[in-house]
Structure 1
Amino acid sequence: MKLSVILLAPLVLATAVPKQERKITYDGYKAFRISTEHDAAAVKEKLAGLSVVPFNFNTEEHLDIAIAPEDITAFEALNLTAEVMHEDLGADIAKHETFSAYEGVTAQAIPSLTWFNSYHAYADHMQFFNDLQGAFTQNSEIFTVGNSGQGRSIFGIHLWGSGGKGSKPAVYFHGTVHAREWITAKVVEYITYNLLVQYSNNTAVKTVLDSYDFYIIPFVNPDGFVYTQTTNRLWRKNRQTRTSSSCVGTDMNRNWPYKWEVTGGASTDPCDETYKGQAAGDTTEIKALVAFTQTLKNSKGIKLFIDWHSYGQYILTPWGYDCSLKPANHARQASLASGLATRIAQSYGTRFTTGQACAALYATTGDSTDYLTGAALAEFAWTIELRPTGSSGGGFVLPAAQILASAIEQWEGMKYLLAAM
């Protein structure tokens, strides 16, 4: 049974005329983490016929889903072992998608740290980066790698130190690949903010920025992100349409042209959340990102790539496509990942699981970290799944009160990693 088809397929039929779409509220939906007791197939069979929204793809131990109001009684009658994630998913979404107005710059001509107290509209994110770069014109610039399928700029910010622009190996970050993972943009914004603000008065930060050129793209999937703010908070994919299907969107983290053809780590069904596309790298966004990534490879090379996601609290090293294969520098990567997890935990006690992506989480094909490792030859290429672990933290709808703590613990972790690698 493919749970994603039950609810999500009907929601995308009207996407050819976006202005006519009604906002999906999820009012009255109740979300649960169900223990699968290592028999996910049996649990899914019991759920057959219920209107559900699936959250996770690693279902070996648990299945995170939201149940439509009309099916909650039937679900509870199944007597499955489950914890409540959201009593009312719609109410929690409404609570945490109330965007605060951007307060602009401080007297020091930099954005205020109050930015990290709440979520914001897409246009405000763009202004935040413009303002931040405007305060540090001597060692930063805004760049674009191309446009999204709907014509939005895939923009980033480039930071450099005393060696001058483009003189050092690249540290390369991606955020908001999956549209509903709002916390990822906030985390990369906080890291960017601190690299620039602390460069002049923190010796450790100055050393890092003098050693690497940073290329940070906060919205790999701008179309999907905007769609989560206007129409469907739980949308995952991009917004690409295809003449062969009424279903919309491709999972851009299954579309990179490396091991894309391997089976088992993505879906060939356009209606599925992990749809890989019709051909390797056939999305507008990935075409642009591949070209940009290759320019970094062919310049000074890529030291570190991190693809920021949520949720689950994982630090994942290659490979995603093969659970038995290890990169040549596996031991070094494992050691650094363990050190990173230790440093993250020092801030608030948040525990991250480390391991190879395929073995520690689930198999993926055509993903960014495999491409960066196998095709772009990055020394380290990781996926970090941010807060929460799941049932106690709100899943994709991370409370705004946790934005700053999530960002701080990642920044502390990055200071360790960037100095140690």
Structure 2
Amino acid sequence: MKPLTLASLLAPLITGVAALPKQEEAVSYNGYKVYRINTLGGAAAIQDKLAALSSYEQWHQDVGHLDVLISPDEAVSFEGLGLDFRVMHQDLGTSISAESAASAKRWTKRQDNPLAWFETYHNYEDHIQYFRDLHDAFPSNSEMVSSGKSYQGRDIFGIHLWGAGGPGKPAVLYHGTVHAREWISAPVVEYITLQLINGYNAGNNQTRSFLDRYDYYIFPFVNPDGFLYTQTTDRLWRKNRQPPPAGSPNMTCLGRDINRNWEHGWDANPRGSSTNPCSQTYRGAKPGDAPENAGLDGYLRRIRDAQGIKLFVDWHSYGQYLLFPFGYAETLYAPEQGRWTKASSLISEAVRDSSDAGTTYTFGASGATLYATSGSAPDHAYAIGRAEWSFTIELRDTGRFGFVLPPDQIRPAAEEMWAGQKVLFSLLDETFFDGVGAAQLYDSVAVGVAAS
């Protein structure tokens, strides 16, 4: 597989992107509130009550909770519904302003404190430069790559890392910023990339073993158009920026959900995606009709055929979950369910033990643990890409801040997940799951992690 060269990757980023839409007025969330509703009394009854409002947006749902965004005009009506709730954001506009103020300055490389990058969020151009810097720090064992173009013509850029013996070993494939508003995913995968490079350069035995056994393909922004839109116009935008199919009833509803547009299971469950272009989970007119998905799928298949995929991870937020196939059916489980469950318990334990906050992750099959997701990347990577391990990782938090996670949580979120990924990398080729208790297994892996 011959990846694109660095020059071909960066040329469009330097010359600009063709045919971009006219800049829109920024969406204001001043006065908007985000509520967490306790749904243990019955989610259906709560949805019926919410239907009395003229509008609301569902942020997130899990077992026991529903998080919703309410406009200032609807706040009094919402609070009069008699629901059991607490306030996540008293004024979402204020929370977004605080987040943006910390991210306003352009990044300048600070050699004295390389971890300063993880103290704030950054604009898209600085993320591109950061990956150039990562490549420069590992020039003989890395290359900049691209899986193709976004709808607006931006490269889906990434970095390919390898160890001794050169490239071509089984692959670890990361997709970040699948949903545009989930800002925490990019710095977490950047932190993991930095630790792999720094550890290898420093001669760390464990990190060297990871890169000597696997090739890493890390794509921090598989939805660059959507991410840029969250920075310029609408902080809560989720989908890509593609117009709906010709003839759609509402041609003003833009975007496909990149995590509902994959071929496998695309239309397997009507609850797992939407056929409505105005929905946050719009699946598209057919599988892969989002150019981002078409390029990512082609790249995945080429890696599958050339070297095989050991691990696939789709990075998201929020909720703190480790999820694995299948997502489109609540009662369908992969044959690897037992192995993935045992591994997830060890990952969760490593995250908790490394975190000052005692962060915990819930784990299980995606459809059974959280909700149905048809046409999702982990299902496709497992069934079509033949990945031996396939995960969705939902990062911090569990509902205090949600999508607008304060910058001071970036580095702790990244550090704890690096601890979890080291355990996962250590387990990828282990065969002693059966007959070994979780405590024994954790002890054996923890020795290697501690030594690093």
Give the TM-score normalised by the residue count of structure 2: 0.86
Choose the corresponding residue for 1:143, options 145, 149, 154. 145
The answer to whether structure 1 residue 84 and structure 2 residue 87 are counterparts is yes
Q: Which residue in the other structure is 2:55 paired with? A: 51
- Structure 2 CA distance for partners of 1:100 and 1:22, relative to 1, 3 Å: closer
Which stretch of structure 1 is more off in the superposition, 29-38 or 248-257?
29-38
Q: Which residue in the other structure is 2:120 paired with? A: 118
CA contact (8 A) 1:152 1:222 kept: yes
State the alpha-carbon separation in 2 of the partners of residues 207 and 320 from structure 1. 32
Q: Which residue in the other structure is 1:34 paired with? A: 37
State the alpha-carbon separation in 1 of the partners of residues 110 and 135 from structure 2. 14
CA contact (8 A) 1:23 1:231 kept: yes
Residue identity matched to 1:388: D
Q: Which residue in the other structure is 1:272 paired with? A: 279
Residue identity matched to 1:409: E
State the alpha-carbon separation in 1 of the partners of residues 226 and 28 from structure 2. 17
- The SS at the match of 2:237 is coil
Q: Which residue in the other structure is 2:179 paired with? A: 178
Residue identity matched to 2:178: V
Residue identity matched to 1:44: Q
State the alpha-carbon separation in 2 of the partners of residues 20 and 187 from structure 1. 29
- 1:12-411, aligned counterparts within 5 Å? 18-19=21-22, 21-48=24-51, 49-58=53-62, 60-98=63-101, 99-107=103-111, 112-166=114-168, 168-201=169-202, 202-242=204-244, 243-245=246-248, 246=251, 247-264=253-270, 265-348=272-355, 349-390=358-399, 392=400, 394-411=401-418
- Structure 2 CA distance for partners of 1:20 and 1:226, relative to 1, 3 Å: closer
Structure 1 unmatched runs, 5+? 1-15
CA contact (8 A) 1:100 1:118 kept: no
- Number of aligned pairs? 400
- The SS at the match of 2:117 is helix
CA contact (8 A) 1:184 1:308 kept: yes
Which stretch of structure 1 is more off in the superposition, 34-43 or 192-201?
34-43
CA contact (8 A) 2:137 2:197 kept: no
Residue identity matched to 1:367: S
Structure 2 unmatched runs, 5+? 1-18, 429-452
Residue identity matched to 1:420: L
User: 1:47 Cα deviation (Å)?
Assistant: 2.0
Residue identity matched to 2:59: F
Per-residue Cα deviation, 1:4-46 (whole angstroms, up to 9, x for no partner): xxxxxxxxxxxx9942521112000111001122522221222
Q: Which residue in the other structure is 1:4 paired with? A: none
State the alpha-carbon separation in 1 of the partners of residues 20 and 315 from structure 2. 31
Give the TM-score normalised by the residue count of structure 1: 0.92
State the alpha-carbon separation in 2 of the partners of residues 54 and 81 from structure 1. 16
CA contact (8 A) 1:259 1:321 kept: yes
Identity %: 49
Residue identity matched to 1:301: G
State the alpha-carbon separation in 2 of the partners of residues 365 and 17 from structure 1. 30
State the alpha-carbon separation in 2 of the partners of residues 126 and 241 from structure 1. 26
- The SS at the match of 1:240 is coil
User: 1:53 Cα deviation (Å)?
Assistant: 2.2
- The SS at the match of 1:281 is coil
State the alpha-carbon separation in 2 of the partners of residues 347 and 65 from structure 1. 31
CA contact (8 A) 1:258 1:370 kept: yes
State the alpha-carbon separation in 1 of the partners of residues 107 and 78 from structure 2. 45
State the alpha-carbon separation in 2 of the partners of residues 149 and 366 from structure 1. 19
Per-residue Cα deviation, 1:123-148 (whole angstroms, up to 9, x for no partner): 11001111111121011111011110
Residue identity matched to 1:341: S
State the alpha-carbon separation in 2 of the partners of residues 57 and 351 from structure 1. 18
Residue identity matched to 1:343: A
